[in-house]
């Protein structure tokens, strides 16, 4: 009987001041080490510290933790274990280690000293108490993620922040302060880093009583299976849509883009220029050719910028490339053939949305 490897996904960060030259050196060192042991994922290192999401088997992750603890800057990383998740294999195609001026982009850099001084966080235990005791009227709970992430799943009592860029957060807070009527503001992100950093910046600027949830959604849902999270959790790795809870506590709140029926499934629009993230039943997604809207369906017929998939035998990328290479009347004929293929397969379906569902991403943490 073949031994089955045990894999985990680690997502972690640490704010620590690192000189730029040293940060570049650590990037090179970490790239070599993670490649040598076979990890896959993303690591960002900069003058603010480190932020990472990686997958590996038990031996690889043991070695990686030992390596991190051997680097003075990366010792004692908060929540590296409490935010770990068991997975069935690697959830990334490759290993990427890069230098970033900001380890998470908010539009302003912070120092470790500022983080320590101005950080305001609620522990998962404290946040759970607020939800369990029905004290949400005393707080404004903001979901700072993309709209499709909120629609797939969110905390009870949370509302979408309604911003697509963290640079808009000061204006956002001022707007919500009037709505909140001096309530304390709690906001959250997937892994916690972006909201913690933004809360530090806001509190530093004098906008007091802005709290992040320690460890974000991941730490809370890893700690409690209590039904306070509704729906699935969107993650920026191979899992994409991850069930939270079990048969007793899980609730599906996602609504299919095409039919409106409940679903936890996520896909991407196949029109490459759109690539919108969709909450969609998989069968409905196939029936609609993977296009999110009438606009994308029409644009795909005109320019052929369609992502190849195993359930549609047409090689769009190669066909468009060969058509452009041929030029003239041959190009027109080949593009007409591509258009006819799309129409013949998907021309009888109707779309609930006329326009592309693409939105500007807020975060990827």
Catalytic site residues?
A: 189
Q: Which residues of 110-136 are buried (b: 16+ CB within 10 A; e: fewer)?
A: beeebbeebbbbbebeebbebbeeeeb
Beta-carbon contacts of 52 under 8 Å, excluding residues fewer than 6 positions away, are 10, 11, 12, 13, 41, 42, 43, 44
Distance, CA of 280 to CA of 301 (rounded, Å): 22
Cross-strand pairs, 11:
53
Q: Which two tokens mark 60?
A: 């690889």
Closest CA to 30 of 16, 17, 48, 49: 49
Closest CA to 357 of 253, 285, 250, 252: 285
Angle at 83 between CA 138 and CA 29, to 5 degrees: 130
| Torsion, CA 298, CA 302, CA 304, CA 310, rounded to 10 | 30
Token pair 């000189």 is at which residue? 19
How many CA atoms lie within 13 Å of 240's alpha carbon, on the beta-carbon side?
11
DSSP 2: P
Cα four-point dihedral sign 269, 262, 220, 185: positive
Cα four-point dihedral sign 155, 158, 163, 168: negative
Angle at 276 between CA 144 and CA 103, to 5 degrees: 45
Angle at 186 between CA 54 and CA 120, to 5 degrees: 75
Q: How far is CA 301 from the centre of its chain?
A: 30
């Amino acid at each position: 009987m073949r031994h089955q490897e045990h894999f985990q996904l680690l997502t972690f960060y640490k704010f620590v001041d690192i000189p730029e030259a040293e940060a570049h050196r650590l990037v090179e060192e970490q790239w070599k080490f993670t490649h040598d042991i076979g990890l896959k994922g993303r690591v960002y290192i900069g003058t603010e510290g480190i932020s990472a999401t990686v997958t590996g088997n038990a031996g690889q992750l043991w070695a990686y933790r030992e390596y991190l603890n051997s680097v003075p800057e990366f010792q004692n990383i908060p929540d590296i274990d409490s935010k770990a998740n068991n997975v069935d294999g690697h959830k990334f195609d490759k290993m990427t280690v890069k230098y970033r001026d900001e380890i998470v982009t908010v539009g302003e850099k912070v120092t470790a000293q500022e983080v320590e001084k101005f950080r305001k966080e609620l522990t998962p235990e404290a946040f759970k108490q607020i939800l369990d005791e029905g004290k949400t009227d005393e707080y404004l709970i903001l979901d700072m993620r993309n709209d499709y992430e909120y629609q797939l799943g969110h905390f009870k009592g949370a509302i979408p922040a309604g911003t697509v860029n963290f640079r808009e957060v000061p204006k956002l807070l001022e707007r919500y302060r009037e709505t909140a009527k001096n309530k304390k503001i709690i906001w959250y992100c997937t892994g916690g880093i972006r909201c913690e950093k933004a809360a530090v910046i806001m509190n530093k600027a004098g906008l007091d009583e802005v709290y992040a949830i320690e460890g974000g959604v991941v730490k809370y849902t890893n700690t409690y299976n209590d039904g306070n999270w509704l729906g699935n959790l969107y993650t920026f790795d191979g899992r994409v849509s991850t069930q939270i809870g079990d048969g007793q506590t899980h609730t599906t709140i996602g609504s299919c883009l095409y039919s409106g029926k409940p679903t936890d499934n996520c896909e991407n629009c196949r029109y490459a220029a759109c690539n919108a993230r969709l909450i969609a039943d998989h069968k409905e997604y196939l029936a609609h050719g993977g296009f999110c809207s009438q606009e994308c369906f029409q644009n795909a017929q005109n320019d052929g910028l369609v992502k190849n998939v195993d359930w549609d035998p047409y090689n769009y990328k190669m066909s468009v490339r060969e058509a452009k290479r041929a030029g003239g009347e041959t190009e027109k004929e080949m593009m007409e053939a591509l258009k006819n293929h799309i129409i013949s397969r998907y021309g009888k379906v109707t779309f609930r949305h006329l326009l592309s569902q693409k939105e500007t991403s807020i975060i990827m943490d």
